[in-house]
Structure 1
């Protein structure tokens, strides 16, 4: 009984500690023409505006959409809050939040018997959420403390789709990117053919078919890019768990420089 009580106490202490860690991500808002993009931002320890820092932009999945400016930290935030990582890397990390009424990527979605079908658009106007994100990044990346040669983007599911989307809309901005269980119209790949990419997908994904990631990978190969491509054969849609466990993910990302 005593052992069980100790385990329960440790469990709640761990939850409380992580909640406190999440508070290190400062709540901010960007407003344009009456529309608001909420985001959380984590500055490095001993942040100094007189220095230059790399920036990682992280795009969440559909399940974390909303307006609470909290839910978007559900997946991925732990990577950047890890003490070993923070002690070894001075990085600014930004988690914007997409509203429920919009989507990161310009994709048409049809639902038939609870099954979703995605049709990725070639070109086209950005969604309201992506438009806000583009305006925000245009402004934020001009800060003197941002290293323009070391700006990165990555995301999962809808955010993986959004990663490909923002790469083609800002092809000269990012030094490298990663996309987890996402997808894109392969005809857009030529826009970001020069960007180092690590693409992940679950082989059993029944929400976003791995064929989407494989198609982008094959197209980039044809265009002369050599993206990293990892398929977790036994993983379903939550392949981000396996991707985040890759010890080389962040070291690889941050090793790239324009």
Structure 2
């Protein structure tokens, strides 16, 4: 067990957000402001990552839910793939698991992407095999990332997240999607996923939908222990 967990490292990083420009009626020159955000994250390396200096690996970006936001970074390990890593499961790809530092705010997706790009640049990651997944608030952020960065991800798995139906047409049709939701969810209604899946299917997207009967918001306990999910992710490669 010790050998398995030892490759799951915690880091503290700082994301530099894009400068914002604005005009002022008092000052003629353009104004700029630069903000930064501290992002704690875990980064998992597969067992054979260090056996080669040339092999490239896929990477899964995992976004946790609201319950793990803004507190002890150790709480990231309570759900999803990070929990499974602590329990000893091995994955064939890197796993990047940042923490949302704001307990009552949405994910800062710009900061997440800057972190992701930095990790990809500094590790042997195949840019055509970057996967995305999130649960609850992280699931909502996953939909947001899919609309804002349609050329970045090879596949996406969303668990009980709010879905931006009006922006469905922004999502890349070549990116396979797997959605999970419980029909008794009283936090984020299952209709969010029902409507998004229906819309995407009408548009010709490659999408799977696992709709659990009698399951509430904590559907992630079932979704992320579905072994075929990781086999499916690892088999995906971005079509240029």
- Counterpart in 2 of 1:79? 84
Q: Aligned pair count?
A: 214
Q: TM-score, normalised by structure 1?
A: 0.76
Shift of 1:225: 0.6
- Counterpart in 1 of 2:58? 54
- Counterpart in 2 of 1:65? 69
In 2: Cα distance, 1:220 partner to 1:257 partner:
20
Match of 1:58, SS state, is strand
- Counterpart in 2 of 1:223? 203
In 2: Cα distance, 1:207 partner to 1:22 partner:
33
- Counterpart in 2 of 1:90? 92
Shift of 1:43: 0.8
* Contact 2:144 2:164 (C-alpha < 8 Å) held by counterparts: no
CA shift digits 1:10-45 (9 cap, x unpaired): xxxxxxx69x96564211122124321111111111
In 1: Cα distance, 2:123 partner to 2:7 partner:
22
* Farther-moved stretch of structure 1 (72-81 vs 202-211): 72-81
| Residue among 97, 112, 117 paired with 1:133 | 112
* Contact 1:193 1:223 (C-alpha < 8 Å) held by counterparts: no
Unaligned 5+ runs, structure 1: 1-16, 105-128
In 1: Cα distance, 2:186 partner to 2:104 partner:
24
* Contact 1:54 1:151 (C-alpha < 8 Å) held by counterparts: yes
RMSD of aligned C-alpha atoms? 2.1
Unaligned 5+ runs, structure 2: 17-34
CA shift digits 1:172-223 (9 cap, x unpaired): 1110010000122211111214210000000100110000011110111121
In 2: Cα distance, 1:65 partner to 1:137 partner:
18
* Contact 1:153 1:178 (C-alpha < 8 Å) held by counterparts: yes
* Contact 2:180 2:223 (C-alpha < 8 Å) held by counterparts: yes
Shift of 1:67: 4.3
Q: TM-score, normalised by structure 2?
A: 0.82
| Residue among 9, 12, 22 paired with 1:29 | 12
* Contact 1:73 1:95 (C-alpha < 8 Å) held by counterparts: no
